[in-house]
Structure 1
Amino acid sequence: MSARPERAESDRAERDRTGAREDGSTLLLTIFYGVLALALVLVVVAASSLYLERKRLFTLADGAALAAAEAWQLDEVRIDGDALRLELDDEGIADEALAYLADAGGGTAAGPVELVRAASDDAQSATVTLRTIWRAPFSLEFLPFEVPIEVTATARSVFH
């Protein structure tokens, strides 16, 4: 029975002499992995926020392009042989896109939306480009605080 306490004391003396103390090493690893996990969660939240904001902006651009493509009057339709032909003009497309944006609130959760381009390349479809600035839900050293987002949507008016 007396050999066991002597052995424990000699093991403790050996650890003290060689400096192999392990007190606190688990706590440091726990803190490091906790900070790493928190940083990973914040990056995922920011990336999700950016993705959702881009989807919102694209939905707004798609609606503006559709409204602009469908904004024609019946007297603008021409008969071209056996087919009916409709030509969209850039000014009408821009006016309808701006009216749609005003009706939709003129912005997203990120902030105000800028109409970059509203035109028709082929006189049959409307192309609308919108831009906004996304701001991160929180500011970190390793994440950008602001990112410009620009989307383009095209809609075609079909008249039969």
Structure 2
Amino acid sequence: MLALVAIFVCANATSLYLAQKRLDALADAAALAGADGFTITLAGDDPQARLEADAVHAQATEIVDAVGSGAVLVAAGTPDGVSARVTVATVWHAPIVSLFVPEGVPLESTATSRTALR
């Protein structure tokens, strides 16, 4: 019986770990897409890439919606005009429900990506 409980807990822990890694990858992808939504402006003779919070949010929303994994976009914006910061969240549900594993665990991931042009 103890061995069976250990197997259930290990299977659930592995599932939780993989769910967090998938959410991290989604946050990275959404932040990267947001950082690619820059506009180029001229400051004298120097071109500068600037991010707008609305553009970052729109790009991140498209990525999160396209994946369709049940994750939601919590926040997306630019703290400094050259970086995109995105936070996504979901709830993990154990594939094998037992007394030792909670039914649902909230997961959240935040990623930051900078524009390629500075």
Tell me if TM exceeds 0.5: yes
Letter paired with 1:128: V
SS of 1:137's equivalent in the other structure is coil
The structural deviation recorded for 1:102 is: 2.1
Which residue of the partner structure matches residue 52 of structure 1? 18
Say whether residues 1:124 and 2:115 are aligned partners.
no
Aligned-pair identity in percent equals: 39
The structural deviation recorded for 1:43 is: 0.7
The structural deviation recorded for 1:145 is: 0.9
Say whether residues 1:99 and 2:62 are aligned partners.
yes
Match of 2:97 among 136, 139, 144: 139
Matches for 1:1-12 after TM superposition, within 5 Å:
none
**Are the counterparts in 1 of residues 64 and 72 from structure 2 also a CA contact under 8 Å?**
no
Which residue of the partner structure matches residue 48 of structure 2? 85
For 1:145 and 1:136, locate their aligned partners in 2 and report how far apart those are by CA, in whole Å.
Answer: 6
For 1:102 and 1:141, locate their aligned partners in 2 and report how far apart those are by CA, in whole Å.
Answer: 34
For 1:45 and 1:94, locate their aligned partners in 2 and report how far apart those are by CA, in whole Å.
Answer: 35
For 2:55 and 2:93, locate their aligned partners in 1 and report how far apart those are by CA, in whole Å.
Answer: 32
Which residue of the partner structure matches residue 11 of structure 1? none
Structure with greater contact order relative to length (CA < 8 Å, sep ≥ 6)? 2
Letter paired with 2:111: A
Task: Flag the structure with higher helix content.
Answer: 1
Paired residue total: 118
Runs of 5+ unmatched residues, structure 1: 1-34
Q: Stretches of 4+ moved more than 6 A in 1?
A: none
Runs of 5+ unmatched residues, structure 2: none
TM-score by length of 2: 0.92
